[in-house]
Amino acid sequence: MRVALGQFGGPTTVLNASLTGAWAALQDAGAHVWGIVGGSRGLRAGRWVPLLEAPPSWLTTAPGAALGSGREPPNPSSTPALITNLARAGFDGLVLVGGNGTMALGAALQTAARVQGVPLAVAGVPKTIDNDLEGTDHTPGYPSAASFVASAVRDLGDDLASMAGFEDVRLIEVMGRGAGWLAGAGVLARRHPDDLPQVVLIPEVPLDLEAFTEEVARCHARDGVVLVVVAEGVRLAGQGPLGLHGLDAAGGTTVLGGAARALAEHLRQRLGLRVRAESLGFLPRCLRLAQTERDRREALLLGRVAAQALLQGRAGMMAALPPRTPGLPTLDSVLVPLVEVGGRERRLPPEMLSLGPAFTQWLGPLLEIPEHWAPGSLV
């Protein structure tokens, strides 16, 4: 079997672990493995390199995308041409590691291959720190990122409490376009129900600016300082994201960012408080120190399971993690059809929107809590 293997979309701390799992499983089975260089662009341009040796030992723990990735959105009209290029190169297997857009591409390629009569089997490996992919309990990359967010918010809260009297409000911006899974991890920083952060803003709940302002004022009067976690995709009711700006000089490529700064300026003007806006930036998706053991093991597992699906002739499937059973000590996996998950954004369900017990009890077992998480004040 001749298989092309690629990484797509934004990196995670365990994206290369998924690559390692798929690569090793394919090679162990005697398949000829080729790496797609540069994600969607490499797939379109036919840029692939032979992966002749076994995966290097450093790859499992390395962040980023060793084959190169990127965010060029695939053009649906180019699907037949992609199938033709893969067939001409002799590939009869394709493994795509990515998020919901990548799974949609995989589903489209699998359908096109069947229509064109090309014997190509496609398999998907989920990844995204946003955790916004259907069909899996959670996505590789998310546990490490969520652990980092919870730890960072906890420590930034201790820092803010130390600066009471000098700084009043601190807003921490966290990645997350349309789903609040990652920003929601900030609630795990609380030692007590009313502890910092007092407010967490997520994209699923439209922001009522007046109610938010009143809540900040109330918390400041009670606690002296206010810590707010803001998902980058937060938006006012009926409006677009608060933070959106051009990535290039022409403004042709826009990215999210700046919601915390916008809200900080609003609070300064309305409440007259001393407000600081911070952003965790790309650290949740790339910090090597944040990578957790469980996340790495799950990424390896799903890479291996997806490769095995191809070898067994099970085309058009994504390897996934089933809903967790309390107390289950071992990792498990399932296969779900790509057509059932591709292009679908998984948001927080209604029972988790409050970020209360339903959410924390689901998330808590995924996190590796640092031992230093103890009360940070003697007074």
The catalytic residues are 130
Element (H, E) at 161: helix 142-162
Distance CA 323, CA 362 (A): 10
Rg value, the chain, Cα? 22
Contact in structure between 332 and 298 (CB atoms under 8 Å): no
Question: Which letter does DSSP use for residue 59 in this model?
Answer: G
**Inter-axis angle of helices 142-162 and 293-311, to 10 degrees?**
160
Cβ contacts of residue 113 below 8 Å, gap of 6+?
83, 119, 120, 122
Distance CA 304, CA 8 (A): 17
201 phi and psi, to 5 degrees?
-105, 125
Question: Which letter does DSSP use for residue 253 in this model?
Answer: S
- Give the angle 9-279-213 at the CA atoms, nearest 5°: 120
- Exposed, middle or buried by CB within 10 Å (0-12, 13-18, 19+), for 345? middle
Find, among 142, 132, 81, the residue nearest to 104 by Cα.
Answer: 132
DSSP letter for each residue of 207-235: B-HHHHHHHHHHHHHHHS-EEEEEETT-B
Distance CA 160, CA 329 (A): 38
- One-letter amino acid for residue 141 of the chain: G
- One-letter amino acid for residue 229 of the chain: V
Find, among 299, 367, 361, the residue nearest to 146 by Cα.
Answer: 367
351: left (phi over 0), alpha (psi -120 to 50) or beta: alpha
- Give the angle 373-145-192 at the CA atoms, nearest 5°: 35
